[in-house]
């Protein structure tokens, strides 16, 4: 690496203190004046250093209150949980609601149902013909009243047109159960997981802090004829979520 | 949202063109002069707009060559692949090498072996006593000669001290096979997946472009006595990797 500039040296020392735990989650970072004196640098240098750490998602600058090491207590998402309850007689609980309630927290959601020409990648995954329609059920999910993530589930319109899935409002027994009743039980799913920076719209809806990526988790569900019947796209701010799979060697 | 400034409006139009596909992967973005004329704005406004898109990971500015929409052709990582070959007589192929070679590309790695006090989260996952040592096998992996990701595998020193795992160099039959020979076959794994911004050191080693997060994938392997015998930490630049699981409903 090239020789680092003054502000990078200050950032490196603070970063080290955070990674080694000398500054723990929620701890207040010394004030600008204290950092200027401790490192014998200008206010501008201190600000550049703090800006770098903020962009890395390590610290949070709160107006009037000061600068803090970010809390990292992610919600544990277990995509297999939803699958286990998929084809039993049990009431359905989706992975998000399960994760939230098992931590003793309150789960909530806003739901919006629409009939759309889906985005190209969703249309491809659903193997839809050109210009074919899908029903999308868009959910903005909350934990203890705070917006947490979004989940948009797409279904081929030709399959769900006359069902509850195409009507507004929550489905108590779950959309997956309705698919079963329509003869399209999901017997196999493919989960794709990636990450990217949020769009400005996502940042605003989900109140995402600067320097925080989102994990994008896409589940495609297939019926016994291997027809894709559901594409669920979850956008999970990375500082608040952890995805876990448990596998056994056979 | 608050009313957006001029540069944000220019950024929004370019973003829309990229998301809708009018500007596709690899396409060149109009020059600064063209954008100034098209939007009737100053060079500074154009630069601010392009800076925003670069930070979101949508475009790539290449010195002297211009600005391009980023290619998105991620390497498909299938964590189950490695598990399937875990306890068969087959030669081991790790998920990364399998993914690369099945795309007809060349996989390579630099490997470095050390005996260390592991980072706190690794020590916790390995259930190590205070100050207990681990062997770490650190790999920097290449695709067609380009650095692609890192994989650091930690093993309890008490278990692997006298084996090939604690010695430098590659193990042709794989470290997992050596664990088996030592009586510590992995019968169960737990995979944790999250994302964050890269550290400056990771950005430099992996040549990560600005505005690109990394996916952190941690696998813990347990032997039949439920003793954790391996913690593998992979750091995967998000623009170059996609993780896929396939599950069947039972």
CA angle B66, A213, A43 (to 5 degrees): 80
Residue A120 dihedral angles phi and psi, to the nearest 5°: -55, -45
| Cβ within 8 Å, pair B249-A1 | no
How far CA A69 is from CA of A35, A56, A57, B200, in Å, comes to 15, 12, 9, 18
CB contact at 8 A, B81 and B102: no
Q: Which residues of B touch A242 (CB under 8 A)?
A: 192-194
Q: How many CA atoms lie within 13 A of B3 on its CB side?
A: 1
Domain CATH for B55: 1.10.10.10
Quote the domain boundaries for residue B163: 75-243
Query: What is the reported pLDDT for B53?
Result: 85
Query: What is the reported pLDDT for A153?
Result: 96
SS3 A165: helix
Query: What is the reported pLDDT for A39?
Result: 92
Q: CA A233 to CA A250: how far, in whole Å?
A: 30
Same domain, A102 and A34: no
Query: What is the reported pLDDT for A111?
Result: 94
How far CA A99 is from CA of A46, A92, A104, A217, B154, in Å, comes to 40, 13, 9, 16, 29
In Å, how far from its chain's centre is CA A133? 26
Residue B118, in any domain of the structure: yes
pLDDT at A1 over 50: no
Residue B248, in any domain of the structure: no
The predicted model gives A32-54 an average pLDDT of 90
- The C-alpha of A89 sits at a distance from chain B's nearest C-alpha, in angstroms, of 13
Interface probe, candidates B203, B213, B216, chain A, greatest A C-beta count within 10 A: B213
What is the per-residue pLDDT across A164-203, written as a single tens digit (0 to 9) for each?
999 998 888 889 899 999 999 999 999 999 999 999 999 9
Same domain, B60 and B81: no
Residue A169 CB neighbours (<10 A): 10
Query: What is the reported pLDDT for A227?
Result: 92
Same domain, B146 and B198: yes
Q: CA B198 to CA B241: how far, in whole Å?
A: 14
Same domain, B208 and B93: yes
The predicted model gives A112-123 an average pLDDT of 91
Query: What is the reported pLDDT for A53?
Result: 85
Counted residue by residue, chain B has a size of: 250
pLDDT at A83 over 80: no
Longest dimension (CA), chain B: 71
Same domain, B62 and B81: no
Same domain, A167 and A51: no
Residue A64 CB neighbours (<10 A): 4
Burial A70-100 (b: 16+ CB within 10 A, else e): beeebbbbbbebbbebbeeeeebbbbbbbbb
The predicted model gives A238-247 an average pLDDT of 92
SS3 string, B140-193, reads EEEECCEEEEEEEEEEEHHHHCCCHHHCCCCCCCCHHHHHHHCCCCCCEEEEEE
Same domain, A108 and A29: no
Q: Which residues pair with B76 in a beta bridge?
A: B242
Tokens standing for B236? 């995967």
Same domain, A58 and A110: no
pLDDT, averaged across chain A? 87
Residue A248, in any domain of the structure: no
The predicted model gives A34-46 an average pLDDT of 92
Residue A196 CB neighbours (<10 A): 22
CB contact at 8 A, A218 and A231: yes
| Cβ within 8 Å, pair A120-B21 | yes
- The C-alpha of A86 sits at a distance from chain B's nearest C-alpha, in angstroms, of 7
Same domain, B47 and B116: no
What are the start-end ranges of the H helices in chain A? Answer: 6-20, 32-39, 43-55, 79-84, 95-101, 120-125, 157-160, 175-181, 200-205
Domain CATH for B203: 3.40.1410.10
Residue A35, in any domain of the structure: yes
What is the per-residue pLDDT across B63-79, written as a single tens digit (0 to 9) for each?
778 899 987 667 888 88
ipTM for the assembly:
0.76
Tokens standing for A16? 């080290």
Query: What is the reported pLDDT for B105?
Result: 78
Q: CA B248 to CA A84: how far, in whole Å?
A: 9
How do the residues of chain B divide into helix, strand and coil, expressed in percent and rounded to 5? 30, 30, 40
SS3 string, A91-130, reads CCCCHHHHHHHCCCCCEEEEEEEEEECCCHHHHHHCCCCC
Among candidate residues A50, A69, A88, the one where a domain is terminated: A69
- The C-alpha of B205 sits at a distance from chain A's nearest C-alpha, in angstroms, of 9
Question: In the structure, what pLDDT confidence band is assigned to residue A2 with cuts at 50, 70 and 90?
Answer: very low
Structurally, chain B folds into a number of domains equal to 2
Which is more confidently placed, A211 or B97? A211
Q: Which residues of B touch A245 (CB under 8 A)?
A: 79, 190-191, 193, 245
Range in A49-53, A149-153, A235-239, B71-75 the model is least confident about: B71-75
In Å, how far from its chain's centre is CA B8? 31
Q: Which residues of A touch B200 (CB under 8 A)?
A: 1, 8, 12
Query: What is the reported pLDDT for A205?
Result: 93
Same domain, B39 and B137: no
Tokens standing for A21? 């735990």
Residue A233, in any domain of the structure: yes
Among candidate residues B19, B51, B69, the one where a domain is terminated: B69
CB contact at 8 A, B222 and A247: no
Q: Which residue has the tokens 């569900």?
A: A221
Residue B177, in any domain of the structure: yes
SS3 A7: helix
Residue A29, in any domain of the structure: yes
Closest listed residue to residue B74, CA positions, set B212, B201, B219, B194: B212
Same domain, A187 and A85: yes
Same domain, A34 and A141: no
Among candidate residues B47, B69, B91, the one where a domain is terminated: B69
Interface probe, candidates A48, A192, A194, A242, chain B, greatest B C-beta count within 10 A: A194
| Cβ within 8 Å, pair A243-B193 | yes
Q: Which residues of B touch A85 (CB under 8 A)?
A: none
Q: Which residues of A touch B213 (CB under 8 A)?
A: 195-197, 213, 238
Residue B7 CB neighbours (<10 A): 20
Pairs of residues, one from chain A and one from chain B, whose beta carbons lie less than 8 Å apart: 134
Residue B249, in any domain of the structure: no
Name the stretches of chain B with pLDDT < 50: 1-2
């Amino acid at each position: 690496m090239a020789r680092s500039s003054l502000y990078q040296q200050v950032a490196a020392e603070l970063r080290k203190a955070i990674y080694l735990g000398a500054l723990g989650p929620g701890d207040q970072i010394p004030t600008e004046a204290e950092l200027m004196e401790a490192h014998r640098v200008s206010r501008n240098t201190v600000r550049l250093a703090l800006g770098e750490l903020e962009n890395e998602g390590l610290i949070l600058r709160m107006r009037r209150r000061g600068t803090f090491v970010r809390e990292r207590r992610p919600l544990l998402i277990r995509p297999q949980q939803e699958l286990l309850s998929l084809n039993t007689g049990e009431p359905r609980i989706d992975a998000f609601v399960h994760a939230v309630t098992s931590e003793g927290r309150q789960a909530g959601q806003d739901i919006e149902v629409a009939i759309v020409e889906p985005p190209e990648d969703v249309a491809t995954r659903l193997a839809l013909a050109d210009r074919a329609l899908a029903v999308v059920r868009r959910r903005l999910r909350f934990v203890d009243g705070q917006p947490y993530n979004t989940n948009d589930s797409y279904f081929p319109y030709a399959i769900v047109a006359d069902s509850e899935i195409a009507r507004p409002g929550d489905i108590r027994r779950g959309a997956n159960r309705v698919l079963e009743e329509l003869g399209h039980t999901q017997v196999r799913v493919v989960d794709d997981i990636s990450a990217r920076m949020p769009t400005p719209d996502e940042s605003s809806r989900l109140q995402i802090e600067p320097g925080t990526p989102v994990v994008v988790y896409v589940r495609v569900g297939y019926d016994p004829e291997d027809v894709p019947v559901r594409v669920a796209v979850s956008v999970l701010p990375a500082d608040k979520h952890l995805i876990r799979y448990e596998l056994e060697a056979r």
